[in-house]
């Protein structure tokens, strides 16, 4: 029960710090790296990327070539909404993996939109296989 409570407090802390960062500065270049870093810390992702029409922001190094997935993930998120790939190496039919050099074992992507306008995608990459609980997906959608 303590572990569950601690996890819940960490999630609430992420939401609070995200809203504080965004209210402190409307400059995305200043606010987003800290927000993405908090998401990385909470989820244990190797890389957290926010891909917008105007550019990309990231936290974590991720693997070599992972950034080559940005356009494909953005396209999939626009067409399908949120999605999880628990074994991206088998996703060649929906995602071009030619530029990926380092191992990518799982990823989750969430569309970013305002009202009905698609703005981009938030995606998290992991070097090890990972399943995602519905509560994790909901938290990322809220952020």
Tokens of 39: 């998401």
Q: Give the residue with greater pLDDT, 86 vs 13.
A: 86
With a cut of 90, say whether residue 123 has pLDDT above it: yes
CA distance linking residue 136 with residue 141, whole number of Å? 9
Predicted pLDDT of residue 57: 92
With a cut of 70, say whether residue 143 has pLDDT above it: no
Average pLDDT over residues 82-92: 85
Closest of 109, 106, 116 to residue 81, by C-alpha: 109
Predicted pLDDT of residue 33: 85
Do residues 121 and 73 touch, judged by C-beta distance below 8 A?
yes
- Backbone angles phi and psi of 95, in degrees to 5: -145, 125
With a cut of 50, say whether residue 16 has pLDDT above it: yes
Average pLDDT over residues 88-105: 86
Q: Give the residue with greater pLDDT, 70 vs 8.
A: 70
Q: Give the residue with greater pLDDT, 23 vs 133.
A: 133
Q: For all residues of the chain together, what is the average pLDDT?
A: 83
Q: Containing H/E element for 24?
A: helix 2-24
């Amino acid at each position: 029960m303590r572990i569950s409570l601690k996890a819940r407090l960490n999630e609430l802390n992420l939401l609070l710090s995200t809203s504080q960062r965004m209210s402190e500065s409307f400059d995305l270049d200043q606010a987003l790296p800290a927000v993405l870093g908090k998401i990385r810390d909470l989820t244990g992702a190797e890389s957290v990327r926010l891909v917008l029409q105007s550019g990309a922001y990231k936290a974590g190094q991720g693997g070599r070539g992972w950034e080559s997935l940005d356009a494909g993930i953005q396209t999939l998120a626009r067409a399908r909404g949120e999605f999880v790939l628990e074994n991206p190496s088998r996703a060649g039919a929906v995602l071009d993996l030619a530029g990926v050099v380092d191992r990518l074992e799982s990823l989750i992507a969430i569309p970013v939109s305002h009202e009905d306008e698609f703005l981009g995608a938030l995606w998290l990459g992991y070097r090890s296989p990972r399943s995602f609980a519905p509560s994790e997906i909901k938290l990322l959608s809220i952020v």
